[in-house]
Chain A
């Protein structure tokens, strides 16, 4: 058996050595068009965000963003190749050109932004949380002095954990396990007192892995800011613009009341801003390097941001997440698209 250098990290280093990273000036759009396929990096399986169902079909909020981009460029949400990536593999997979776009509950941070990457707008405002079994009798993170905590490497989670405990002058013991399945197994077997990751991730794990979800609680403390956003390679401005405005279009659509169901009817709407967004008036797409009906296709394919949210992670799903910070700015949330004009 050969030395296992932490999965893809070594591979990625090899990629950097063997491949030529695509040069600038819109190469990603051209490459996607000529391949006729969008290669989208997603999670290996995080319910609500990106996970394959029993037929191998991918669903989730992150997956819907991939689909929207594919609809804009290729007019076909089936022309996507999903590349499941572990926490450690994801950034190098993008840097090395293995994928065109990374939509994998990835936190936007300065260090990552400066690693040859660029971020599109946030699609889910999250924060790090702590999940414990109810039987532990803990109601606040401040009571966790001396706890053993299960955490996945390659995440911002791993980094925030030590900071938070230092700031609160508490001690803890990390158990760092690479594969999410094994990590969850260790936590549910009682090896750790606490499981920590993004609160949305905890909700997903609780809903899908715990035998009795009600036996576990997520503590009230939010330990960090985790703005989850799609990632592209640094320097390909056109590509970043397309991904960014696709997301803005989905947010704008919610604000204007355009849904997957009524988008065709809305083509006849008298509101000029709706007409511009759907390409009835003007030609906003050309500036991006796509055609007039770009936003129409995205909305037609996956619905507006609110629909995507409710379908995948909202109150009617096992994750039961509130809109919270992810409500439209008009409803007191942070979802805000710049003028589409």
Chain B
């Protein structure tokens, strides 16, 4: 096969370039041939696989195509972010699954980052005990398979907690049982829309004032403390309206029959998956943070201390910003890992995208399409996440003069 390649390429080469030796001894020609060879091999394998799959499907008379997506799903999903019932279509079920995957990965990434940073800093702490505890955490958690950790968390939450009729109730309206954590939720009441709007306004105002504050500091050296301003705007504003209106209607969970109705639920499946993913991934992020901090030359810390900055300020203003450049690229891949690991959900009953796609495959028999949908969804999520992180990375990267 490689022989015929050689002749074809030779014949196709433009005559103008003949000056540069069109011979197999020329490394450039060899490199091009090698590339072509690999491309051809990949194409052939792909062609064979697709062809073979189609043949086999046809021979087993398995229909193919994505037509099933707008048929009625007919199954129920345990927890959903959008309204869903068995009369909805498979496409809606897929959306529910993707949203559930995004929910657990999004919250998981946030919490794993926070815990990871704390761990990384703790491991470098001059306090012997703190450093030891952090090291022990990292070494244990990193070395136990995630699936086992998920089973452990799920087992603790379901076997360790009482049934709904004996639920623990530390505060009125809050119930903890093996059906999950039940909390009061905002009821259908216009006041909550106002509260949400004011919360948003508070966030925007805080951001604007922060930017102004930074400019002012650059120009005058004076700086306002942002903490009280931010808290006042983000929490105070909506809370004052809520109190002024005499409090909004609240949907309280109540025990009815054998389960709770009303309120919001944090299910044991979601909680176990979230704990598992956060605790596992934070161990890796902690190590990345530690190595990032160690990569900042000691002179930086010494110089900052000499300027009279407090230890906290040294860390926050001098060390972490520089460490970020080392931290972000490997952390991105931890974020991707967390997202992909969330597909272990079906082992402990959280209805993530893979679980819902599996049910769909079971109902419709469209295994190839289902697996393609899973691959496509994870590819899109992963690429978007990488894109976002690369953008952030380029922002914090060292701008050289």
The answer to whether the Cβ of B378 comes within 8 Å of any Cβ in the partner chain is yes
Cβ–Cβ contact A115 & B62, under 8 A: yes
Q: Is A172 touching B76 in the complex (CB atoms < 8 A)? A: yes
Mark each residue of chain B from 358 to 400: 1 if its CB lies under 8 Å from any CB of chain A, else 0: 1101111101101100100010000000000000000000000
Within 8 A of A (CB), among B265-319: 268-269
Render A210-238 as a binary contact track against B, CB cut-off 8 A, 1 for contact.
00000000000000000000000111000
Kindly supply a per-residue 1/0 record for chain B positions 124-149, scoring 1 wherever the CB is within 8 Å of any chain A CB and 0 otherwise: 00000000000000000000011100
How many Å lie between the Cα of A146 and that of B75 in the bound state? Answer: 16
Binds B, one of A58-66, A183-191, A258-266, A286-294: A183-191
CB pair B74–A163 under 8 Å, yes or no, is: yes
**Residues on A close to B: CB < 8 A?**
1-6, 9-10, 12-13, 16-21, 23, 87-88, 91-92, 95, 111-112, 114-116, 136, 145-148, 153-155, 158-159, 161-163, 165-166, 172-179, 182-183, 185-186, 189-191, 193, 233-235
**B60 touching A191 by the CB < 8 A rule?**
no
Question: Does A148 contact B179, Cβ atoms closer than 8 Å?
Answer: yes
Can you show 22 pairs from A to B with CB atoms below 8 A apart? A3-B343, A4-B354, A9-B367, A9-B370, A16-B52, A16-B56, A16-B367, A92-B367, A112-B365, A136-B258, A146-B259, A147-B258, A148-B259, A153-B355, A153-B362, A159-B75, A162-B74, A166-B86, A176-B349, A177-B348, A178-B355, A189-B155
Interface presence of B49 (CB below 8 A)? yes
Most buried by A among B158, B178, B341: B158
How far in angstroms is the closest Cβ of chain B from A88? 6
CB distance from A243 to the nearest CB of B (A): 18
A-B residue pairs, 8 tightest by C-beta? A116-B60, A6-B358, A177-B349, A115-B365, A162-B86, A191-B158, A189-B158, A189-B159
When the two chains form their complex, are residues A146 and B367 in contact, meaning their CB atoms are under 8 A apart? no
Chain B positions within 8 Å of A136 at CB level = 258
Q: A21-B60, A146-B261, A176-B355 are in contact. List 11 more A-B contacts (CB 8 A).
A: A1-B341, A5-B343, A6-B361, A20-B52, A20-B56, A145-B257, A148-B179, A159-B74, A182-B154, A185-B159, A191-B158
| Interchain nearest-CB distance for B165 vs A (Å) | 9
In the bound complex, CA of A172 to CA of B343 (Å): 24
Chain B contributes a number of interface residues (CB within 8 A of A) equal to 62
Residues of chain B within 8 A of A147, CB atoms compared: 257-259
- Is the Cβ of B351 less than 8 Å from the Cβ of A176? yes
Q: How far, in angstroms, from A16 to B159 measured CA to CA in the complex?
A: 41
Residues of A within 8 A of B74 (CB): 159, 162-163
| Given A13-B371, A115-B62, residue A178 in contact with residue B346 (CB < 8 A) | yes
